[in-house]
Amino acid sequence: MAKSFVTSIDVAERAGVSRSAVSRTFTAGASVSPDVRQRVLKAAQELGYRVNRLAQTLNTSSSNLVGVVGANLSSPFIAKQLDMLSLGLLRRGQQCLLLNAADARSDIAPLIELIFEFRARAIVVLSGEPPASIVDECLANGVKLIVINRLMTRPDTDVILSDDILGARLAAERLLAARCRKVAVVCSGSLTPTQVRRATTFSDVVREHGGAVVRWSEGPTAYETGVAAAHALLADEQIDGAFCVTDLMALGFLDAARHDLQRSVPDDLSVIGFDDIPQSAWKAYDLTTVGQSFSVLTDAVLAALDHDDGEVSTQMVPVTLIERGTVHK
């Protein structure tokens, strides 16, 4: 029982060729005679040889490792993104080094530095915003940096944004069309740029049309926060509509409104969410929401990964209003 892996030199000996020949056999588009190739492959097979990516990366200095950092990996929205992203990366022959940022407010800089140490070729930030120093470091070392849903204030980073402005506008217009007069807008306490954009746009539109707006922003971005918001806000019986900037919070809001506060949705109260997570389509909720396509989002990330040199892009992920059953007709 060997404790260490088989090396190319073992294979070379067994096949009666040089190490170079082995290397060439496992390098796409190298020139090896079919004969040698077969012998090497056979020996490798018998010995259980696996190329050592570490050594390989060391002198080609181009790993196919992509660092992914995110928080709340088990929240439906992030989990879905991670699922699709990791699958996409795998399909493209890239590996995913996953760093869990514990919670949304934790500093992601140390995690990104860890990624540097593995010489990843790119970094995808699903949640949180990398500090300027990190961005500089990526730039200096030729590491692609892709940030999702954070409006970076610098033009040298790839940014993927959901169309929050349009989404919030659609939500506002839909609630106005349902004749809501006093609406709640629910954010979490971690006022991310995305949440702020959604909330303020929504509020502006509603006010423009003469509606009243009450705002909540406390707690984590979670189901429970929606519950808490409903309890606090719906004491005011005049509120007849709510826009939760996240589906997860919308589901909590909805549940509390219906089950704790005996509000009838959508007759009595209309609710709209944002994101279109899988649970929103479940029959118990049937939540009307602003949807962003996960596959478009993932494709945007993968596309940004491709822009191998220099060029930086800002991509907007389109949104649509998904009419379901939580808004009065």
Catalog residues that contact a second copy under the rule CB under 8 A.
Answer: 1-5, 48, 50-55, 57-58, 61, 63, 68, 72-74, 76, 79-80, 82-84, 86-87, 90, 95-100, 102, 111, 113-114, 116-119, 137, 139-142, 223, 227, 251-252, 254-256, 258-260, 278-279, 282-285
Segment interacting with DNA (CB under 7 A) among 47-55, 78-86, 136-144, 252-260: 47-55
Q: Which of 240, 241, 256, 250 is nearest to 276 (CA)?
A: 250
Shortest Å distance, C-beta 110 to DNA: 18
Using the minimum distance from each CB to DNA, give the nearer residue, 8 or 188. Answer: 8
Shortest Å distance, C-beta 148 to DNA: 30
Give strand pairing partners of 182. 212
Shortest Å distance, C-beta 119 to a second copy: 6
Using the minimum distance from each CB to DNA, give the nearer residue, 110 or 278. Answer: 110
Residue whose tokens read 């826009």: 243
The two tokens of residue 19 are: 């190490």
The helix or strand, by DSSP H or E, that contains position 145, with its residue range, turns out to be: strand 144-148
- Residue 275's CB is within 10 A of a number of other CB atoms, namely 24
Residue 141 binds DNA (CB under 7 A): no
Measure CA 307 to chain center. 19
Shortest Å distance, C-beta 64 to DNA: 12
Give the x/- contact pattern for DNA in 157-196, rule: CB under 7 A: ----------------------------------------
The interface partner of residue 31, options being a second copy, DNA, none and the CB cut-off 5 to 8 Å by kind, is: DNA
- Are 20 and 40 contacting, i.e. CB atoms less than 8 angstroms apart? no
The two tokens of residue 259 are: 């089950």
DSSP code string of 20-70: HHHHHHTSTT----HHHHHHHHHHHHHHT----HHHHHHHH----EEEEEE
Using the minimum distance from each CB to DNA, give the nearer residue, 5 or 282. Answer: 5
Q: How far apart are CA 314 and CA 309, in angstroms?
A: 15
Using the minimum distance from each CB to a second copy, give the nearer residue, 146 or 170. Answer: 146
By CB under 7 A, name the one of 14, 24, 121, 174 that touches DNA. 24
Shortest Å distance, C-beta 251 to a second copy: 7
Cis? peptide before 266, omega within 30° of 0: yes
The helix or strand, by DSSP H or E, that contains position 19, with its residue range, turns out to be: helix 19-25
Per-residue CA distances from 5 to 158, 172, 230 (Å): 39, 61, 58
The SS3 call for residue 301 is: helix
Give strand pairing partners of 204. none
**Residues of span 287-316 touching DNA by CB under 7 A:** none
**Residues of span 52-81 touching DNA by CB under 7 A:** 52, 55-56, 58-61
Shortest Å distance, C-beta 45 to DNA: 14
Q: Using CB under 7 A as the criterion, which residues of the chain lie in contact with DNA when the complex forms?
A: 4-5, 7-9, 16-24, 26-27, 31-33, 35-37, 49, 51-52, 55-56, 58-61
